[in-house]
Structure 1
Amino acid sequence: MSKAYLIGQITVTNPQAYAVYSAQVPHTIAAFGGKYLVRGGHATQLEGQAQGERNVVVEFPSREIAEAWYNSEAYQAILQHRLNNSTGALALVDGYDL
């Protein structure tokens, strides 16, 4: 079973309101065995156009678990805090098996 990676490029438009999401989301991710590999930090765009100012990469044990996290009651309860206070894009990508 391949790991799966949630990749987000986000621009926060309302930092105070977004903080509600930011404070709660780590617990929902950890509950599904996910872990942050990237959460913000300095980025240099080498090619193309970035979809947001803030980069996030979360590793999950599998695609099924990542999808279960995204659709979980706990995550759906806070999702509007992100959607209403930021713009950007998320992608779920299967990991590479050696």
Structure 2
Amino acid sequence: MQPRGATVMTAFIIGQMTIENRDWMEAYFAEIPDVVARHQGSFSVRGGNPTRMEGEATLPDAAFVIRFPDRAHAEAFWGCDDFQRLAKLRRSGSSLDAILVDGTQ
């Protein structure tokens, strides 16, 4: 619960994924949208075809941005058993860099 007068700020989980094999993908992507939605999240970005705009780091195979009402919802999603089970499956064929950031007011 937020203190009276506190501003609730949207939060985003931003991820970049490198895919080593695709064996896990069908099962993962069949379930992940529902798990995100149960935590009031929605995908703003979900897909491949990244294009370099600046920098020299290796481009990921896919990227995503998930919007949540606030950090509490994002953290609850990340820590929930359903997501952790899917994350274990995803890790069987990919690596992920993910960060949690606050949105702007």
Equivalent position of 1:75 in the other structure: 83
Distance 1:4 1:51 in 2: 24
Aligned residues of 1:8 and 1:89 also touching (Cα < 8 A): yes
Is 2:47 aligned against 1:40? Answer: yes
RMSD: 1.4
Runs of 4+ in structure 1 deviating by more than 4 angstroms, as ranges, are: none
Does structure 2 conserve the Cα–Cα contact (< 8 Å) formed by 1:13 and 1:85? yes
Is the deviation greater in 7-16 or in 61-70? Answer: 7-16
Shift in CA distance, 65/51, structure 1 to aligned 2, threshold 3 Å: farther
SS in 1 for 2:23: helix
Give the superposition deviation at 1:75.
0.9
CA distance in 2, matches of 1:44, 1:51: 8
Structure 1, unaligned runs of 5 or more: none
Deviations 1:30-75 (A, max 9, x none): 0011001110143211112145220101100101110001001111
Q: Is the 8 A contact 2:50 2:60 kept in 1?
A: no
Q: Is 2:56 aligned against 1:62?
A: no
SS across alignment from 2:53: coil
Q: What does residue 20 of structure 1 align with?
A: 27
Identity of aligned residues (%): 33
CA distance in 1: counterparts of 2:44 and 2:58, whole angstroms:
19
The structure that is helix-richer by fraction is: 1
Please tell me whether the aligned partners of residues 5 and 59 of structure 1 are also in contact (alpha carbons under 8 angstroms).
yes
Using structure 2 for the length normalisation, give the TM-score: 0.84
